[in-house]
Chain A
């Protein structure tokens, strides 16, 4: 089963507001990834993090790899209607046949009101 706890489960915000979501794990991951999934589509990679403490931005998105390697957060600034979707965190571990295996959180559903 999945090991990542993602929160909040859903968010309803006004256009222009900032959004923050996070992901915690009972296990250490060596890579953290954030994906966005639109209805009827597969997840699309937004940001990848490879080092503990790393802070990475992609446009209005900023994500951080927690120092303990057991958590990560994603911020979206100045939200717009096209930010609507489901955001997933995912982590990978190293070693053996599980190398690169993605473990996903349960997702955060984001709704943006114009």
Chain B
């Protein structure tokens, strides 16, 4: 069974340019997460979707970041315009749900997109 798929794996852009990341979760997983991982740090949640609804976006910088999960499957995270400080790895994860204990709420992570803003 395929894991969480993310693309692109690497992206280099100049500041003020827009950028988008795509995530395809594990089939059947209702919950999708976007995380930001700065160098030398653990991941930090940006947004969580349950199906197509964003249920926790409190950490998403809404002035420049946006996300969508149309039809409750694939998701796209966008930054417009990108700033130098946005250079990081953007991780996508999915789980069957969030309630209860494993295995229902285990989060499976994709390999991430490494963004470099010049």
Enumerate chain B residues within 8 angstroms of A44, measured Cβ to Cβ.
109
Contact A97 B43 (CB under 8 A): no
How many angstroms between the C-alpha atoms of A41 and B42 in the bound complex? 13
How many angstroms between the C-alpha atoms of A100 and B54 in the bound complex? 14
Which of A4, A90, A99 counts the most B-chain CB atoms under 10 A from its CB? Answer: A99
- Which one of A42, A90, A105, A107 lies within 8 Å of B111 (CB-CB)? A42
Interface string of A80-114 (1 = CB under 8 A from B): 00000000101000000111111011110000000
CB-nearest residue of chain A to B4: A42
Tell me if B7 counts as interface (CB < 8 A to partner A).
no
Enumerate chain B residues within 8 angstroms of A59, measured Cβ to Cβ.
none
Q: How far is the CB of B77 from chain A (nearest CB, A)?
A: 15
Of B11-19, B64-72, B80-88, B97-105, the segment with at least 4 beta carbons within 8 Å of chain A is: B97-105
Given A99-B99, A101-B48, A102-B107: A107 and B41 within 8 A (CB)?
yes
Tell me if A58 counts as interface (CB < 8 A to partner B).
no
CB-nearest residue of chain A to B58: A97
Contact A106 B107 (CB under 8 A): no
Given A97-B55, A98-B56: A88 and B42 within 8 A (CB)?
yes
Enumerate chain B residues within 8 angstroms of A88, measured Cβ to Cβ.
42-43
Given A40-B111, A42-B93: A100 and B99 within 8 A (CB)?
yes
How many angstroms between the C-alpha atoms of A44 and B112 in the bound complex? 13
Q: How far is the CB of A50 from chain B (nearest CB, A)?
A: 6
- Partner-B contacts on A (CB < 8 A): 2, 4, 6, 40-45, 48, 50, 88, 90, 97-102, 104-107
